Structure 1
Amino acid sequence: MTAVPASNADYATANAVVTLSRGEQPETDLEVKRSHFLGRAARTDDEAAARAFIASVRSRYPDARHHCSAFTVSVPGAQPIERSSDDGEPSGTAGGPMLDVLRGTGLVNTTVVVTRYFGGTLLGTGGLARAYSQAAADALNAASRVRLATRHLWQVRVPVADAGRLEAQLRGQGGPQDIGVEDTQWQATHAVLTLSTPTADAEALAEQLAALTGGAAHAEPAGSRVVETPLPAA
């Protein structure tokens, strides 16, 4: 489980979303009538990163005839930016079908590129659309994924005499399952616990803390962070 910068919290809401893990992903190779469709996907958190990834694939295979692509990136408070490119293939036979496949996965902030090496046999518009769709699906299925979820942070100041007991109750079996202890700072007379919850419901947290401390502990908002949890391979 890895924390990521707070700027990414814009697309990781209380309902967790899924994207690709960072770093290089596997390349897939689909052969259709001697044409090779090389697929690769990447985590791209903004449009500049998406276009940079497309350019990197193009430079990796400069002799290929086509580098078709599709991407979706989140925009705070707005609809995601979605783009696709047929890159010289007949209109609607490559980028559009790839974008449909990408949408169907539910992935956010993701780019997929399919590089085609022509095998000498024309596939027709339907054949091209099927090949690019399959190549995009293969690349996305091969890529490792993570779930993103926002954790809302709170600071709770308690006397040293009570802090150890409270921390043990929160961490122990039978404690509140939705409250996490992120950190504890010990000082001379008191301790400050940093807690995290899946929602920003201050009232619900206050009720839980009151039950544990007899009303002695009060939580103050302290921002949020996004947690990445790897998902098992498909």
Structure 2
Amino acid sequence: MPHRSRALTLAGPAEGEIIERKSRFLALLHPVRSIEDADALVREARSAHPDARHHCTALVISEATTGAGPVQRSSDDGEPSGTAGMPMLQALLHADLTDTLAVVVRWFGGVKLGAGGLVRAYTAAIEDALDGAALCERVERCEMALDVPFTDVGLAENAVRQWADRQGGVVGETTYTPQGARLTLQIAPELAHDLSQDVAAWSQGRLTPHEMGRRIIDVPLSR
């Protein structure tokens, strides 16, 4: 998987599996929103596969999600130190993933792999799961509002939707007040000036959009 300089997260759970010298490695990837969510999923994996020798884990949670500092942690679960959890964590970080739990369940096949073999196997299991995973890009969006009089609602809605279609914005529902209507849309922060210029052009300078705030959203990533 090529390296990306974007913040990505899983759209849903994903699995991958490899066999290395008779040992079976089952990789389970989950999107998570807290350490508590991750811990519950680890317990679930142990319960679902009690016959496995190891249930190794790696966890990445962003600062935006925790509301405090970012979380990065891993567990070798009985494998030699540094041969399982850390390679799994590095695979997640290399893929620019956040808010993600990885569990690799290993059934020992009777042949020792050595430290290097374990590192390669646990990394390959994560990469196999990522190859089939649906991903989202985590992006910042401005919440923009445009207040218009009743006489301009039709013109404004049409102009805003055309602009959003060209620029990749998302138009929200129109709400009404005694004074007129409010149109809302989510756009990339760097496009706020372009939106203001476009609105000024078609409204002949009578209307100006304003920013209501910013939020982080997940946008499905096409492969």
> Does the pair score TM above 0.5?
yes
Indicate the SS of the match to 1:151. Answer: strand
Q: Is the 8 A contact 1:68 1:94 kept in 2?
A: yes
Q: CA-to-partner distance for each residue in 1:109-164, whole Å, 9 max, x for gaps? A: 11111111011111111111111111121122222111222321122211111121
- 1:203 deviation in Å? 5.4
1:83-232 counterparts in 2 under 5 A?
83-172=73-162, 177=167, 180-187=170-177, 190-199=180-189, 205-232=195-222
Pick from 37, 59, 68 the counterpart of residue 71 of structure 1: 59
CA distance in 2, matches of 1:175, 1:44: 32
Q: Is the 8 A contact 2:164 2:170 kept in 1?
A: no
1:27-46 counterparts in 2 under 5 A?
27-46=15-34
- 1:187 deviation in Å? 4.9
Distance 1:204 1:21, change over 3 A: same
Deviates more, 1:43-52 or 1:206-215: 206-215
Indicate the SS of the match to 2:196. Answer: helix
TM-score, normalised by the number of residues in structure 2: 0.85
Which runs of 5 or more residues in structure 2 are unaligned? none
Identical pairs, percent: 38
Counting matched residue pairs gives: 217
Q: Is the 8 A contact 2:17 2:125 kept in 1?
A: yes
- 1:225 deviation in Å? 4.2
CA distance in 2, matches of 1:136, 1:101: 7
Which one-letter code corresponds to 2:56 in the other structure? C
TM-score, normalised by the number of residues in structure 1: 0.81
CA distance in 2, matches of 1:197, 1:187: 24
Deviates more, 1:220-229 or 1:95-104: 220-229
Q: Is the 8 A contact 1:170 1:179 kept in 2?
A: no
1:7 corresponds to: none
Deviates more, 1:30-39 or 1:48-57: 48-57
- 1:72 deviation in Å? 0.6
Which runs of 5 or more residues in structure 1 are unaligned? 1-14
Pick from 35, 49, 70 the counterpart of residue 61 of structure 1: 49
- After superposition, the CA RMSD in angstroms is 2.6
- 1:183 deviation in Å? 1.9
Distance 1:207 1:97, change over 3 A: same
Q: Is the 8 A contact 1:71 1:82 kept in 2?
A: yes
